[in-house]
Amino acid sequence: MKVGVVGASGYAGVELLRLCAAHPDLDVAVAAAGTNAGQPVAAHTPSLAAAYPTLVFDATDPDRLDGLDLVFLALPHGESQKLVPALPGRVGAIVDLAADFRLKDPTLYPTWYGEPHEAPALLDRFVYGLPELFRAELLAAGRPGDGPALVAAPGCYPTAAALALAPLVRNGVVEPTGIVVDAASGVSGAGRGLSDRLHFGAVDEDFTAYGLLSHRHTPEMEQAIGAELLFTPHLAPMTRGILATCYARPTGSATTDDVLALLRDTYNAEPFVVVTDGSPSTKATAGSNCAHLSARVDPRTGWVVVLSALDNLVKGAAGQAVQCANVVLGLDETAGLPLAGQYP
């Protein structure tokens, strides 16, 4: 199937190109990259030279996307809202990696993103692309109907938190209020743009919290989990990875074994979720499309602690987008997606 990657020179876009190169059914026909238009992919990102020896970055032009089976949008927030209205009728499906169509309530965008949504009428048409929790909606979006399948792939922090907490909230094991999510991300989560706070000298040997009380992924987490929570993100001195430590109050007398059993039951048939007795680590997930989960119940303080680790560029971005594409296109959901991580 012919696909396009818009925003192909950013970190998520490059990861999409890498994954599509190993995919048995997805052929990248267009790689659009705005200011890098006209530059060979191999020169811009040498790690892709063998996979794309002749591919050249295109300008971001809807006309170049005509007739494609699916388009991935790996653009900065706000840009997909401008492009998507021009794509129905041109492409078979759209998977957006940005936050432009993740929130169902348009009134949340001015509060959390600082500006009104430019295409609010399309919000209800997008399905939330976290297959392990919303597969039925993805399958429905992929059935023949009016217009293309529209998918909003989750962010890396919300993916980690939702996989950890949604089963507990949905099954009434924890209270749906008073939840705390502390999560740390590698610097690639901030994208490829230049920033003083992302320089090596600023990040190395430092560990900082940011977005205090106001991080824009908060309402997305609450929507996906179905609970009220306090989210505090941290920047860690590593390239890839998310580690989320989530705290919730139990509704009854659950034990560690009970919570681990629930997670195992929920994800038993899911190839990309590993539930482990040990403590999840970002290194174990690097390069894979897998999330690693574990949990503890502390009888002394009464807290339920659930931990989640994943690669923010794969399961937290490009890998998840490809997984969603597989579902809506009727392909094997695991096609082209690595189960094994890279170590060391």
CA distance 158 to 216: 10
Residues with catalytic roles:
156
DSSP assignment letter at 245: E
State the pairing for strand pair 242-248/179-185.
antiparallel
Q: Report which of 170, 154, 171, 198 is spatially closest to residue 291, judged by C-alpha positions.
A: 154
pLDDT the model gives residue 176: 98
In the chain, the domains with their CATH numbers are 2-154+315-328 (3.40.50.720), 156-312 (3.30.360.10)
* pLDDT tens digit at each of 344 positions of the chain: 999 999 999 999 999 999 999 999 999 999 999 889 999 999 999 999 999 999 999 999 999 999 999 999 999 999 999 999 999 889 999 999 999 999 999 999 999 999 999 999 999 999 999 999 999 999 999 887 777 999 999 999 999 999 999 999 999 999 999 999 999 999 999 887 768 888 888 899 999 999 999 999 999 999 999 999 999 999 999 999 999 999 999 999 999 999 999 999 999 999 999 999 999 999 999 999 999 999 999 999 999 999 999 999 999 999 999 999 999 999 999 999 999 999 98
Task: Report the amino acid identity of residue 173.
Answer: V
Asked if 237 and 158 touch (Cβ cutoff 8 Å), the reply is no
The residue behind tokens 């009727």 is: 330
